[in-house]
Amino acid sequence: MTTQMLTKFMGLDTSAQILKCLQEQFSSHTRAKIQKMKLLLKTPKNEKMVFVYLHDIKMVVNMLAAIGAPITIEDHIESILKGLPEEYNEFIVVVMSRIDPYFINKI
């Protein structure tokens, strides 16, 4: 614990006050981390192999869920499709025109 944090705790009388102080301290870090990870979901495939690209997206999705900011299956699929190059356009059209619900297979 840093000296700055210890200074913030001085004068706090209850564990509820200390917990609130800790939540305020770390919530901004969590929001920034969530935003950073959501930006990673918008990163195009570029030169990555498809398996690596899908794995990277799955890792980000899992991290978001772990810190309490899960995304929907639809958003997960959309992030995959938006990052694919033009050569996948026909595949994207087929997936997007599907009536049945989406699902993600475990990798």
Q: Residues 61, 92: one domain?
A: yes
Q: Residues 16, 50: one domain?
A: no
Q: Residues 51, 73: one domain?
A: yes
Tell the burial category of 57 from Cβ atoms under 10 Å away from its Cβ (0-12, 13-18, 19+).
buried
> Which tens digit of pLDDT belongs to each residue from 46-98?
888 888 888 899 999 998 888 888 999 889 988 999 888 888 999 889 888 88
Tally the residues of the chain. 107
Q: Residues 97, 60: one domain?
A: yes
Q: Residues 47, 80: one domain?
A: yes
**Could you give the number of structural domains in the chain?**
2
Q: Residues 12, 51: one domain?
A: no
- The pTM for the full model equals 0.66
Residue 94: domain span: 41-107
